[in-house]
């Protein structure tokens, strides 16, 4: 079992961060597992190295220990790009050009018989217009249901 805490270094730690760090730490240690810290620093507009340093210092000061050196997501972009390219070449992904406003709009609309957010697949059936922003990538999914139970 491996537990992890993956904060975004966009500011100082707050009580919510600490609670998540504690739960993942306690769960891993309680099950004789490993605990790792993964810094989610891919948001280059808001992430700051000084905040990552402060997060690690705060965790150490609070008595947290981890079993591997902290991983910085920004140092692994080539790995992610390689797998993204593999999935695209297998036609398992399609580009989505929807902006946050549109995604918020469709997620707040009522969906008959659905108690959760549903993406309408717009970009699967529409061609992007010239000059659109860089895409997000969505998985091609069959009409299947999947679920999991979060232990917290």
Instruction: For residue range 12-60, list pLDDT tens digits in order.
Output: 999 999 999 999 999 999 999 999 999 999 999 999 999 999 999 999 9
Q: Is 74 helix (H, G, I), strand (E, B) or coil?
A: helix
For residue 95, the cross-strand partners are 137
Q: Hey, is 7 helix, strand or coil? A: coil
Q: Domain spans of the chain?
A: 2-76, 91-139
Q: Which of 20, 3, 8 is nearest to 55 (CA)?
A: 8
> What CATH class does 2-76 carry?
alpha beta
Predicted confidence at residue 84, as pLDDT, reads 95
Cα distance between residue 149 and residue 152, in whole Å:
9
Rounded to whole angstroms, the Cα distance separating 85 from 93 reads 10
Where helices occur in the chain by DSSP H, the ranges are: 15-30, 49-61, 77-89, 100-108, 122-125
What pLDDT score does 100 carry?
83
Closest CA to 30 of 140, 151, 119: 151
Euclidean distance between CA atoms 24 and 78, whole angstroms: 27
Reported as a single tens digit per residue, the pLDDT across 88-106 is 999 999 999 888 888 888 8
Mean of pLDDT over the chain: 88
Contacts of 109 (CB under 8 A, 6+ apart): none
The confidence score (pLDDT) of residue 61 equals 97
- Is residue 118 very low, low, confident or very high in pLDDT (cuts 50, 70, 90)? confident
Evaluate if residue 5 carries a pLDDT over 80: yes
- Least Cα distance to 126 among 146, 86, 92, 97 occurs for 97
């Amino acid at each position: 079992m491996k537990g992890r805490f993956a904060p975004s270094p966009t500011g100082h730690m707050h009580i919510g961060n600490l609670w998540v760090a504690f739960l993942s730490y306690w769960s891993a240690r309680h099950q004789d597992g490993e605990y790792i810290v993964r810094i989610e620093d891919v948001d280059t507009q808001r992430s700051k190295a000084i905040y990552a340093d402060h997060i690690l210092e705060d965790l150490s000061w609070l008595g947290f220990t981890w079993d591997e050196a902290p991983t910085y997501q920004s140092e692994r972009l080539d790995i992610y790009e390689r797998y993204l390219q593999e999935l695209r070449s297998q036609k398992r992904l399609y580009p989505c050009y929807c902006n946050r406003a549109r995604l918020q709009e469709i997620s707040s609309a009522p969906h008959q018989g659905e108690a959760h957010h549903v993406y309408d697949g717009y970009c699967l059936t529409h061609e992007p217009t010239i000059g659109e922003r860089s895409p997000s990538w969505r998985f091609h999914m069959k009409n299947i249901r999947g679920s999991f139970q979060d232990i917290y």
